[in-house]
Amino acid sequence: MTIWKRKKLSFGFVSTRFAGTDGVSLETQKWVDVLTAKGCDIYYMAGELDTDPEISYLVPKAFFQHEEILEVQRPLFAEKQRSRAITQKINALKEELRDEIGHFFEKFHFDILVVQNALAIPVNIPLGLALTEFIIESGIPTIAHHHDFYWERQRFHSYAAMDYLKAAFPPAQPNIQHVVINSLAGLELARRTGASWTLVPNIMDFKILPQEIDDYNRDLRSAIGLDEDSHFILQPTRLVSRKGIETSIELVSRLELPKCALVIPHEAGDEGFAYRQRVEDYAKFMGVDLRLIPDRIAKERGLGPDGCKSYTLWDVYPHADLISYPSIYEGYGNAFVEAIYFRKPILVNRYQIFEADIEPKGFKVISFDGFITSETVQQVKQILNNPDQLADMAETNYMLGWRYLSFEMLEEKFEALLTNIYGS
């Protein structure tokens, strides 16, 4: 008998935010879908939430862009100097957040704590410290899901914060099970902390057919100013420099198609907005039709604040002729998994994790090493003009995705994690 049948479990999810379409929020929802299908109760705590208020606990200072959090983060990672006053402020915020985590637990009395990336990427140092203290003091079984670590981002290399980073990002404690999204991250985690790890890559529910063009999203092209016969190249990533958007702009330029647009549905996020301006300027210089549409994308269909129709990311994918994924670095590749789920051809840079964890599984893609060539451009043109080849690529990738990146795979991983807690 499995643990699911022996015990009704409840999980308390904690992060800086559970809202919008960022990768952590999207991946968290997939975990929640798997757990609720097993009859589990779910509760949320974060600094920004769009979850059901009845099962949620909002703590504004858990959000990484809260004014008081930015006040202590800036000296640590921008100025790389820490004064006594900043140390005291961090300690005060840590104590405040520690109390809030305790209140969250007291309110919902969940069995297992699930920390989504808040013990990996140090965008909120006080929250990470507070979580670590709560986990140690309470002894609660904890699953720490790490999407990206501080040592993977140059901007977080700071001696002013190193004691905090070593203490809580992540902490190595016997009641914490560490989950990573790629094998290289797991190996580095083990090397740095001695902690064991479980690999759970980004996933999709492959047994449910993807969203198609329907009466609601049929007008998406016209809504973003594109003709129906325009080629639609989609880069479904945030506007940050490591996503390599310049390469997608170069591709569209070199395709030399009479009507072709590069569409980006996500905003810049937590790394500033200077790169957005750089991308817009570069597209203009290269003569590329660039459509930045984050203001038209929402978690659910409806009307936006401006009264205009909003679409989901799932409404965008069916319109794409090609997914361009030229990232320089990825923790795994949420957009890659989405692209194969929607049966779309993919152009992908062979970033390190792709080489280590994805490529060996046999996915059919148009790949390049660091920069596109004339051969790359020709391969893209061939795929766009060959429906049979596109269909074969899409079907192969979909079935491989179901095998390696599905909800069923996550269920098996959860079985192992829960066995470690409760026994077989």
Q: Structure pTM?
A: 0.85
Using one digit for the tens of pLDDT, what is the confidence trace for 342-352? Answer: 999 999 999 99
Least confident of 2-11, 77-86, 114-123, 196-205: 2-11
Cis peptide before 170 (omega within 30 of 0): yes
Q: What is the mean pLDDT of the chain?
A: 93
Position with higher pLDDT, 266 vs 66: 66
Count the neighbouring beta carbons within 10 Å of the beta carbon of residue 83: 11
User: Where does the pLDDT of residue 270 fall: very low under 50, low under 70, confident under 90, or very high at 90 and above?
Assistant: low
**pLDDT for the residue 274:** 87
Eight-class DSSP state of 55: G
The closest of 19, 49, 31, 21 to 317, measured between CA atoms, is 21
- With b for 16 or more beta-carbon neighbours within 10 A and e for fewer, the 61-73 pattern comes to bbbbebeebeebb
Using one digit for the tens of pLDDT, what is the confidence trace for 180-202? Answer: 999 999 999 999 999 999 999 99
Could you tell me if 415 and 35 are in contact, meaning their C-beta atoms sit under 8 angstroms apart?
no
The closest of 196, 163, 120, 158 to 416, measured between CA atoms, is 196
Domains of the chain: 3-203+406-422 (3.40.50.2000), 220-404 (3.40.50.2000)
**pLDDT for the residue 271:** 59
Could you tell me if 71 and 58 are in contact, meaning their C-beta atoms sit under 8 angstroms apart?
no
**pLDDT for the residue 229:** 92
The closest of 176, 150, 153, 174 to 162, measured between CA atoms, is 150
Q: Tell me the C-alpha distance between 124 and 130, whole Å.
A: 10
Using one digit for the tens of pLDDT, what is the confidence trace for 35-70? Answer: 999 999 999 999 999 999 999 999 999 999 999 999
Kindly state the percentage of the chain with pLDDT values over 70.
98
The closest of 108, 188, 113 to 150, measured between CA atoms, is 188
> Per-residue pLDDT for 424 more than 90?
no
**pLDDT for the residue 272:** 61
Residue with token string 């990573």: 180
Q: Tell me the C-alpha distance between 297 and 309, whole Å.
A: 9
Specify the length of the chain in residues: 424
Q: Tell me the C-alpha distance between 415 and 63, whole Å.
A: 31
Using one digit for the tens of pLDDT, what is the confidence trace for 202-250? Answer: 999 999 989 899 999 999 999 999 999 999 999 998 888 889 999 999 9
> Per-residue pLDDT for 1 more than 70?
no
Q: Tell me the C-alpha distance between 221 and 190, whole Å.
A: 47
Position with higher pLDDT, 334 vs 168: 168
How far CA 99 is from CA of 122, 170, 312, in Å, comes to 20, 20, 36
DSSP helix/strand/coil, 75: helix
Using one digit for the tens of pLDDT, what is the confidence trace for 377-411? Answer: 999 999 999 989 988 999 999 999 999 999 999 99
Return the amino acid letter for 236: P
**pLDDT for the residue 242:** 87
112-116 and 56-58: which strand pairing? unpaired
Kindly state the percentage of the chain with pLDDT values over 90.
84
Could you tell me if 292 and 266 are in contact, meaning their C-beta atoms sit under 8 angstroms apart?
no
Give the burial class of 112: count Cβ atoms within 10 A of its Cβ; 0-12 exposed, 13-18 middle, 19 or more buried: buried
Residue with token string 């809504």: 223
Please compute the mean of the pLDDT values over residues 300-324 and round it to a whole number.
92
Eight-class DSSP state of 209: P
Taking only Cα atoms into account, the Rg of the chain, rounded to an integer number of angstroms, comes to: 22
Q: What angle in degrees, to the nearest 10, is found between the helix axes of 84-108 and 67-74?
A: 140
Could you tell me if 295 and 197 are in contact, meaning their C-beta atoms sit under 8 angstroms apart?
no
Using one digit for the tens of pLDDT, what is the confidence trace for 92-139? Answer: 999 999 999 999 999 999 999 999 999 999 999 999 999 999 999 999
41-46 and 56-58: which strand pairing? parallel
